[in-house]
Amino acid sequence: MDAERGVATADDGASDDGFDIPTIADGEFLLEPIDMSALTPWERKVRKFKDCFWTLEASLAWCFGLEDSKFAYELDVKEEEEEESARAEARAEAMSEAEAAVAAASVEGGAARG
């Protein structure tokens, strides 16, 4: 910061307004690295457009004080649904194992009586 003028200089690395907008370069919004050399020119253009769009969307969400961007929210909802379905499958499996154990016990009990 320039002490005489009270102005932030380029080498400070911080702004005086307190707003540090996250960018795609920070890696905060990047889901997985993409090998751009393996894409066709059209796919590269589409990928750059999508990256730009999601960066803009996340930055606007951050600027307006939203907890998550729509994209992050949708990923969270999908993850919660997958966890709930896994729990439901585990409950169903436990119920079927319990029913099988009761059936086996009743068959063994009937054989012991007869």
Average pLDDT over residues 31-39: 73
Domain that holds residue 50: 1-66
Shared domain check, 17 and 59: yes
- C-alpha distances in Å from residue 43, one per residue of 25, 36, 50, 53, 86: 20, 9, 10, 15, 35
Shared domain check, 87 and 43: no
pLDDT in tens, 43-98: 989 988 988 998 888 888 778 877 656 777 888 889 999 999 999 999 999 999 99
Question: With contact defined as beta carbons under 8 Å apart, do 69 and 58 qualify?
Answer: yes
Q: How far apart are CA 16 and CA 73, in angstroms?
A: 31
Shared domain check, 58 and 72: no
Q: Is the pTM of this model over 0.85?
A: no
Question: With contact defined as beta carbons under 8 Å apart, do 36 and 47 qualify?
Answer: yes
Shared domain check, 58 and 21: yes
pLDDT in tens, 4-31: 444 444 444 555 555 565 555 555 555 5
